[in-house]
Structure 1
Amino acid sequence: MKVLFLTRYSQRGGSSRYMVHQYLPAYAQAGMTCTVAPLFDDRYFDFGVLDRPTGIGEIARHSLYYARRVLLRLRALIDSHRYDLVVLEKELFPYVPYGFEEWLRRRGAKLVVLFDDATYAYYRQHPFPLVRLLCRGKIERIVRGATHVIVWNDHLAGYMRRLNPRVSVVNSGVDITRYPPKDYRAPRTTDRLVIGWIGTPNGFPYLRSLETVFAELAQQYPIELHVISSMAYSSAHVQVVNRTWSMQTEVQHLHDLDIGVMPLPNDEWTQGKSGVKAVQYLAVGVPAVCSPVGVARRLITHNVNGMLADHPTAWRCALTRLLDDPDLRERMGMAGRATVIQSYSTQSVAPRLVDILLQAGRSA
């Protein structure tokens, strides 16, 4: 079976890496011939566009690049009839009204659409009225016309099933062979206790929600905050160590953490998140403290493989318990890794994805 994957990004983009690229070996082993056509390739990340909002000026500076990428995507659409199945990450062109997806459907493509966040909520809540107007109902129309929809979150599944009964939920997964466990017997590289966060700069406001908690803890413990991202984070309340994210250094930076955090507000957008950062913490055996939002409710069993905290006092208590007890950190971290191996690794998730795509390809 020949499958065309229309991803948003190359492997450097987190959403495309975790939804598509890391599963390509499993698809090939199942007999699929896979072609990946990203909208944005590696060069896109060299522009630093994920570190700040993309405005008209930013687009104009790189207009030739964007024009070329649009033409390449249009060429992929024209060639889509050569494939037995087309797998689309969310939408063909962000910020563009619905239409190209309908053209693809009318050309007879069997279309599987992937969602790891509530893109429909993003457009509804967008600060620019023109974007809200142009993209109103776009995601809903894409979902209605899909042969199958795959989501990484129960909340997304509930919404999508109102539009299309052919919706499957899969767990967020990481390749467990790429995420070896933290060695708790190894000599420490610092005498400070390390609380860590990994993500794009878009998530900095969520991390800032813990500033008052960090300020109180810093009065009692020798802590530092490690931020693994593409842009520097600053704080007036806690010592920050910024670690530049890369695929090559990601795991080592995660091993340096004593505790991983994933704070989130509880709204329509965050309820649709896939919880990958929490899965990453657990995969390397680092205990996680998370807001009880979205995937975290299912991933984290409170006081067993991590902790859930929904207000500042709960965050302070959870972090204090872990800072006070290195044995508890190790036990929870290893319990978290066991959870990932069983249910949130590519090795456990891939067979289900393979089955979904094979069935979609065989559908009438």
Structure 2
Amino acid sequence: MARIHFWTADGSGSGLYRGVLPAMSLDWIGHKPSAGPRLPEDWREPGFDVVVGCRVAKPGPSRTWREMREAGIRLVMDLDDDYFHLDPSNAAAYQLWSDPRLRQGLVDNIAISDTVTCCSEPLAEVLRDYHHDVRVVPNGLPAQYLGAVRDYNPEILSVGWAGTSSTVHELPEAVRALNRIAEYRRPGGVVVRLVGIDPRTAVACGLKGERLGALGWVENFGHYLQAVAAFDVWVAPYRDIPFNRAKFATKFLESSMLGIPLIASDIEPYRAVIRHGENGFLVRHEHEWGRYLKQLVDDPGLRQQMGMAARAEASGSILQAINVQWEAALSAPAAERAAA
């Protein structure tokens, strides 16, 4: 049984998937975990075993990282994005991580860590240039979401997109198709629902029409999952760039847990999890967004078939299956324990 703290960078989805949820899952198997952007006050006391630091790079946290190294705490650096290949379209993040001091701080802190964890194999390949021991631990969700009952033939059909201000620049890939499907004449109609951006941002991206709903940022994760569970079809457009290829297929994780058919861009990581035409659709060319949307909107049987096929595979992504991977990644190798 180990005392573990996940030192999250913030309270966003990253902090949830790489901190709060893993900590909760390790508690289930007897460890003493905690998670949050603040370190526990007693971290200097004997008996504190492991700190998982999420992208530790700024000067203040970096000093603390070195102090923990000197105190003998096992350090695990976790990254869930490729901060070495940020795209300029994500202006705020690009400007932040273009600072040479911040970038060097991250590199230095990776170097003194015992282990590095990340969410995908493409990201692990990038990080192996900076550390010899990089482990891939995927994102997961509690098993309870597998049991939600779905209506695959609602009167009003909802086509959804979910993202943030840092991913909204991916949305224009599917805007034309979303505008057209919102105007599609179907009994009950079709509404386009956006989670994570406000109406003004949606309009700035080119979305229009009366049958458009933009919910804005949803801070509480339970409320977020409740909002996206209202989708009948989910779209996940992404450009084929190094930063996106290193991501975890989180939208497939969420949609498959909820039994929602997903249409995603044909890039890694979605190419690795979607079997085109069976558990979702993969889009190679812009006009295909409209084709696959219309196909799913017209056919409730296909929506159910794809949603259930995705959900059938989601059992491997539950936290109850992933917590042992976290446990292994956070434990010292046998040879290291013997030397100690």
Q: What is the match of residue 55 of structure 2?
A: 90
Offset at residue 170 of structure 1 (A): 2.1
For the residues of structure 2 that align with 1:129 and 1:349, how far apart are their CA atoms? 32
Q: What is the match of residue 241 of structure 1?
A: 213
Q: What is the match of residue 164 of structure 2?
A: 200
Which SS does the other structure have where 1:201 is aligned?
A: coil
Offset at residue 90 of structure 1 (A): 1.6
Number of aligned pairs? 323
Q: What is the match of residue 331 of structure 2?
A: 358
Match of 2:165, as an amino acid? P
Structure 2 unaligned spans of 5+: none
Match of 1:291, as an amino acid? S
Instruction: Give the 3 Å change call, closer, same or farther, for CA 130–272 of structure 1 in structure 2.
Output: closer
Instruction: Give the 3 Å change call, closer, same or farther, for CA 130–273 of structure 1 in structure 2.
Output: closer
Which SS does the other structure have where 1:136 is aligned?
A: helix
Which SS does the other structure have where 2:76 is aligned?
A: strand
Q: 1:253 is matched with which residue: 207, 210, 227? A: 227
Most deviating of 149-158 and 272-281: 272-281
Match of 2:170, as an amino acid? Y
Q: What is the match of residue 109 of structure 2?
A: 142
Instruction: Give the 3 Å change call, closer, same or farther, for CA 351–78 of structure 1 in structure 2.
Output: closer
Structure 1 residues 128-182: Cα deviation after superposition (integer angstroms, max 9, x where no partner): 4895222233333322222111111111111112222211112221113045334
- TM-score w.r.t. the length of structure 2 is 0.83
Instruction: Give the 3 Å change call, closer, same or farther, for CA 120–103 of structure 1 in structure 2.
Output: farther
- TM-score w.r.t. the length of structure 1 is 0.78
Instruction: Give the 3 Å change call, closer, same or farther, for CA 87–360 of structure 1 in structure 2.
Output: farther
- 1:332 has 2:314 as partner: no
Note if contact 1:176-1:347 (Cα within 8 Å) is conserved in structure 2. yes
Q: What is the match of residue 79 of structure 1?
A: 44
- 1:36 has 2:35 as partner: yes
- 1:160 has 2:161 as partner: no
Structure 1 residues 326-364: Cα deviation after superposition (integer angstroms, max 9, x where no partner): 1011110011111211x2221221121122223469645
Match of 1:85, as an amino acid? V
> Alignment identity in percent?
20
Q: How does 1:183-332 map to 2 (within 5 A)?
A: 183-184=150-151, 188=154, 191-221=155-185, 222-229=189-196, 231-232=198-199, 233-235=201-203, 236-238=207-209, 239-244=211-216, 245=218, 246-332=220-306
Match of 1:30, as an amino acid? I
Offset at residue 230 of structure 1 (A): 5.9
Q: What is the match of residue 50 of structure 1?
A: none
Most deviating of 204-213 and 173-182: 173-182
Instruction: Give the 3 Å change call, closer, same or farther, for CA 34–217 of structure 1 in structure 2.
Output: closer
For the residues of structure 2 that align with 1:335 and 1:20, how far apart are their CA atoms? 29
Q: What is the match of residue 21 of structure 1?
A: 20
Match of 1:197, as an amino acid? W
Most deviating of 25-34 and 309-318: 25-34
Structure 1 unaligned spans of 5+: 40-72
Structure 1 residues 200-249: Cα deviation after superposition (integer angstroms, max 9, x where no partner): 23222212331122233345444321112263443343431123523343
For the residues of structure 2 that align with 1:27 and 1:205, how far apart are their CA atoms? 35
- 1:347 has 2:320 as partner: yes
Offset at residue 250 of structure 1 (A): 2.9
Deviating runs (4+, > 6 A) in structure 1?
A: none
Structure 1 residues 263-283: Cα deviation after superposition (integer angstroms, max 9, x where no partner): 111212212222222211111
Offset at residue 290 of structure 1 (A): 0.8
Match of 1:195, as an amino acid? V
Structure 1 residues 85-134: Cα deviation after superposition (integer angstroms, max 9, x where no partner): 221112154x8795553443344331111111112334998554895222
Note if contact 1:97-1:135 (Cα within 8 Å) is conserved in structure 2. no
